[in-house]
Structure 1
Amino acid sequence: MTAPNNAGVTPQDLLNWMKRKETAQNMSRPSETDPEKEWLEKLFGECEDEFYETFGVYDDDDFLPVDDDEEDFGDWADRIRKEYFDKKHAEAQRLAAASSGWKKKKSKQEREQEEKSHKELYEKLQREHEEYLARAARKEEETRQGKKRRYDERCAATFSGGSSADNTKLSYSDIPWPAPRGTVQEMVDVMLHGVDRKDVPAFRKMLRKQQALWHPDKFAQRCETRLEEKDKQRILDTVTALSQELNRLAQSLRA
């Protein structure tokens, strides 16, 4: 224990040095339990609990500044929509300006060609419109001629029939009205269709023929006994109205 080594240190010296080091460490280490410290910590905890119960617990966000201008979803959507339409409007204006500039740069020959194309298109549309009107007029004329032809045929069958026809009862729909569902004026138009009203002699001749056919007294002589009782008065009233309109036209020719 007392034999020194080459450095002159004995085992006893090393043992003493280790003991001193352990003693120093124990002196520098605080005690594991400090009653006074525990009492202070407990007192602080009680005060903290009482403070929270009285004033509440504060979050970190409670101390942040309030942003009154914060943008909600609706404001954001409105802003995006406005920016979108502003952009589209600006783009449309740019394209319009570019188009206007391009038109100004077109040569005289191009402008003349464009005007010629427009003129040709207008003339084509005009021709097609006139052809349509002509077809419509032809169709209308064919319809009127068909009504006039059926009217004449029914008059011949009803008013000029044989003995078998004389015994047939006539309802309102059996009378050869020129326009069965039309007005008196429409009926007269069918009666006189095909006659040029400017040709007064021819027009007067056709008018007299129709006056004789629809004169109330002559009509009654031919058909009154054959009329269905339920339609008799209605038929006679319509015949009278037709006769009056034909007489009015005849009076206008004398004026």
Structure 2
Amino acid sequence: MFVPNRAGVTPEDLLNWMKQTEPSASTSHRSEKDPEKEWMEKLFDECEDEFFESFGVYDADDFLPVDDDDEDFGDWADRIRREYFDKKHAEAQRLAASCSGSKRRKTNKEREQEEKSHKEHLRRLQKEHEEYLSRATRKEDEVRQGKKRRYEERCAATFQASSSSSVSDSKLCYSDIPGQLHEELKDVNAFRKVLRKQQTLWHPDKFAQRCSSRLEEKDRQRILDTVTALSQELNSLAQSLKT
């Protein structure tokens, strides 16, 4: 308010001069202009022009942001969402391209090593499979030999020809008859040899001669019928091998 301009006039002087230039009721009837007031008006106009030239005319719109876009909140939210997903999609594409490139480089660089490792793995699996088959074969042989041994033990107990009274007086029930030995032999000659031995062992006449006196009366007929049927089955099997 009290800082003078280049003409030595302060803002307070201008305000005072403006008040003095306002028409009043006491001076309105004067027809003559006051030279002093006229000079002050001219001086005020000059000061105003100088001020506008130095600082420019104040425009309220110059200090407000101009928004030519009529975007509402919904449009703004859609735009933000679209920009966010576009950014994420671009990042995913860059990551996929990076991973794909590194994978291709790894495959080209370590292909020989991977093939070698794969072949070694196959050899190890083949070896384990062969060992498994070998163990299974040994186990099968052990089971077959065990069945054969138990069968022979039961046959020995059934056809015991000892003269001991404890043995000769023991009675044979139907459950004591061991039945037929089911043995699978790939060698035909070996199978025929076993079959002839079984035919001799289970011949009805020879069985009756050796064991008739020891049969339990309640199971006698059932045992003899079973031995006869078993002998016929063995004979039929032997006949089929001849054809």
TM-score, L = length of structure 2 = 0.51
Give matches, 1:75-90, under 5 Å: none
**In structure 2, which of residues 194, 210, 224 is the aligned counterpart of residue 206 of structure 1?**
194
Q: Using the TM superposition, give the Cα deviation of residue 241 of structure 1 relative to its aligned residue in structure 2, in angstroms.
A: 3.6
C-alpha distance 161-96 of structure 1, shift in aligned 2 (>3 A) = farther
How many Å separate the matches in 2 of 1:99 and 1:239? Answer: 79
Cα RMSD for the two superposed structures: 3.2
Would you say 1:219 and 2:213 are equivalent positions?
no
Q: For the residues of structure 1 that align with 2:215 and 2:236, how far apart are their CA atoms?
A: 27
| Number of the residue aligned with 1:115 | 115
Identity fraction in percent: 69
Moved over 6 A (4+): 93-98
Change (3 A) 1:94 1:108: closer
Task: Report the equivalent of 2:13.
Answer: none
Distance of 2:217 and 2:99 partners within structure 1: 80
Distance 2:226 2:153 in 1: 20
Cα distance change on mapping 1:110 and 1:224 into 2, 3 Å: same
Q: Secondary structure at the match of 1:106?
A: helix
Is 2:197 aligned against 1:229?
A: no
Query: Which segments of 5 or more consecutive residues in structure 1 lack a partner in the other structure?
Result: 1-90, 179-186
TM-score by length of 1: 0.49
Rounded to whole Å, the distance in 2 between the matches of 1:218 and 1:172 is 18
Q: Mark the CA change 1:132 to 1:233 in structure 2 (over 3 Å): closer, same or farther.
A: farther
1:228 is aligned with what amino acid? E
After superposition, the Cα gap between the structure-2 partners of 1:99 and 1:141, relative to the gap in structure 1 and judged at 3 Å, is farther
TM-superposition CA deviations, 1:25-75 (whole Å, max 9, x none): xxxxxxxxxxxxxxxxxxxxxxxxxxxxxxxxxxxxxxxxxxxxxxxxxxx
Contact residue 161 and residue 210 of structure 2 kept, 8 A: no
Q: Distance in 2 between matches of 1:177 and 1:226?
A: 17
| In the alignment, structure 1 residue 176 sits paired with structure 2 residue 178 | yes
Q: In terms of Rg, which structure is larger?
A: 2
Match of 1:23 in 2: none
Could you tell me which runs of 5 or more consecutive residues in structure 2 were left unpaired when the two chains were aligned: 1-91
Q: Rate the CA distance shift 1:215–1:104 in 2: closer, same or farther, 3 A.
A: same
> Residues 201-231 of structure 1: CA distance to partner in whole angstroms, max 9, x if unpaired?
x543332221011122322232233222343
